Every structure is written in structure tokens, then in C-alpha cells.
Amino acid sequence: MSSESPAQPASADQPAEAPAGVIVDPKDARLRKVRELLKGKNKASRAIIVDDEENLLAALAAGVELFTVFHGEDAELPAALAAALPADQDVQVVSTHAAKELFGVERRSRIFALARRPKPLTVAEVLEHPGDVLVLDGVKLMGNIGAITRSARALGAAGLVLVDADLASVTDRRLIRASRGMVFSLPVALASADDVAAQLAEAGVPLVSLDLGSEKALDSVAEIPGRVALLLGSEKHGPSARLAETAEHTVSITIHPEVESLNVSVSAALALYERRASNPLPQA
């Protein structure tokens, strides 16, 4: 009888050896930039993280360059994504252990990529696109901004301007996910209130504020000729005095008296839909 001890199974801290070609070490050099970005380091980097198939497809459709695509050993590269990638795209496979260590307490992404950050847009560049513009002043919740981005894209808005949103970039990973990748196809800019007021005045685009205290009903927004910029503030505080005072029109959404206010994303969608009454979307 052999005196050797039987082989012990790999523990949770010592994962079983992965197949050849799979990244098993979360500190692997190929994951270095991902680690930096997840930890909020090197904020001046031109690289961003894009998670999940839908967001990656949206990025590719908008012409965003992907440096490296990673997918877990337990997740095949989806056929639609594989077909959309360039033939020479760098694709790496990451072990489940390495991915869990990489993302920590966050939801582990089974498909993610390092991509080149698109060039930031100015208010003037957003206004070059036809259609109405949404100005969000003091709206900070990513879920709300993401939902408004999707509504703006679906209802034909020219773009979105974010004032005092506590964002360093519109391609913040949280906003990419909340908008389901629509930040890549809808022009979005970060700006100050002064810059917004100056650029709208120069372009001759009137600012329309959604204000519960207005005597004009929301449907009157459809009667304003030409294009407009719809101003929405946070649900609690509304827009800043600087932009509210700049507004040439105010309209309100009539709601049940026992309800204090609507979520800002709902208000934005309703206002955009009313505008479609006088500016219908082109039919496919």
C-alpha cells in the first residue's frame, strides 16, 4: 500500500486549475486596467468599462472601439456579439474565481470589455442635432438619468445636457448600465448652468421648465413652435434658480392632489411625448 496521501480537492481559496488560455489570476496584467477603473483609479484614462451584451452591442453600433473583450469561463461569447466584433478583436477568457475577485461585492459581469472613451460633447455640439433637447439640472440618480436617456432616444430628442449631475463623464459605468447603452447613441453633454443658458440663447432655443406651480398645462408644450429645451430638476428641489429664471415658458403636469410629485423620468417621458404631437417622429 502506498504511503502517499490521497490528492485533496481544491478549496474555495485555491480554485482548481482552469483550462489552458483562461486567466486564473485576478492580478493578471491583462486585467490591470480593469482593476484600476473598478477601483476609481486613473480617472484621466481614456479607457472605460462596458458590461453585458446589450451595452456592448450598443457601443459597437455607435462606433466605439473595444480594446479587449473578456468573458467568463462559464459564459460563451453570444453569437450576436461575436458577429459584431472585428475579426482581429482581442478576446480573453476569465475564470469564475478571478472574475469574482475582480468585481468584489459588485455583481459579477460575465461579459465585459475595455473600450476607448468617446470624445466628450459640448452643449453646442448637442444642439447641432435636430430635435428638442432635455436639460437635467441637479438630477443625480443614475437610474433616473438612464431612464430619461432611453426615453429621449426613443422619442426622438436631439440630446441630453446634464447640469450638476455629480458625474466626471457621461460614459460612467453606472450610467452606461442604467441607460442600457443608449449613452453611446444619444448625444449627451455635461455643462454648467451658465454655459447652458448662453448656448441656448445663442442658438435661439427657448427653455421650457416643468413646474408644478405653472398655470399652463403640459399639453400646451406642443403649441410652442420650433425646437425647445425641456428643463427638469430633481424631484425634491426642482431646477436651480439660475436656469429656472432663464425659462421662457413654464408648464405643469396635473396630478392627483394627494400625490406630491412625479418621478423626474416619468415627467420627462410625458413632456417628450406631448412634444411629438406637433413634431411627429419619421415613420420607418
3-class SS of residue 202: helix
Does the pLDDT of residue 4 top 70, yes or no? no
Superfamily of domain 22-116: Ribosomal protein L30/S12 (3.30.1330.30)
pLDDT of residue 276: 86
Task: State the average pLDDT over residues 90-100.
Answer: 94
pLDDT of residue 224: 92
Q: What is the pTM of this model?
A: 0.87
What cell does 205 get? Answer: 432655443
Does the pLDDT of residue 8 top 50, yes or no? no
pLDDT of residue 13: 45
The residue ranges of DSSP E strands in the chain, in sequence order, are 22-23, 47-51, 66-72, 90-94, 111-116, 133-137, 159-163, 188-191, 207-210, 229-233, 249-251
| Total Cβ atoms within 10 A of residue 278 | 12
Residues spanned by CATH 3.40.1280.10 within the chain? 123-275
Tell me which residue of 6, 23, 271, 26 sits closest to 155, measured CA to CA: 271
pLDDT of residue 5: 39
Tell me which residue of 157, 146, 150, 160 sits closest to 272, measured CA to CA: 157
pLDDT confidence bin for 131, thresholds 50/70/90 = very high
Question: Does CATH place domain 123-275 in 3.40.1280.10?
Answer: yes
pLDDT of residue 135: 98
Who has greater pLDDT, 205 or 238?
Answer: 205
Mean pLDDT of the chain: 89
Does the pLDDT of residue 11 top 70, yes or no? no
pLDDT confidence bin for 1, thresholds 50/70/90 = very low
Q: Give the pLDDT confidence of 54-87 residue by residue, as tens digits.
A: 999 999 999 999 999 999 998 889 999 999 999 9
Distance CA 177, CA 114 (A): 14
Q: Which residues contact 248 (CB under 8 A, 6 or more apart)?
A: 206, 207, 208
pLDDT of residue 14: 45
Residues spanned by CATH 3.30.1330.30 within the chain? 22-116
pLDDT confidence bin for 150, thresholds 50/70/90 = very high
Helices in the chain by DSSP H: which ranges?
A: 32-38, 53-61, 79-84, 96-103, 123-127, 142-154, 173-178, 193-203, 241-244, 264-275
pLDDT of residue 20: 60
Q: Give the pLDDT confidence of 215-268 residue by residue, as tens digits.
A: 898 999 999 999 999 999 987 788 999 999 999 999 998 888 888 888 999 999
User: CB burial class (10 A; 0-12, 13-18, 19+) of residue 59?
Assistant: buried
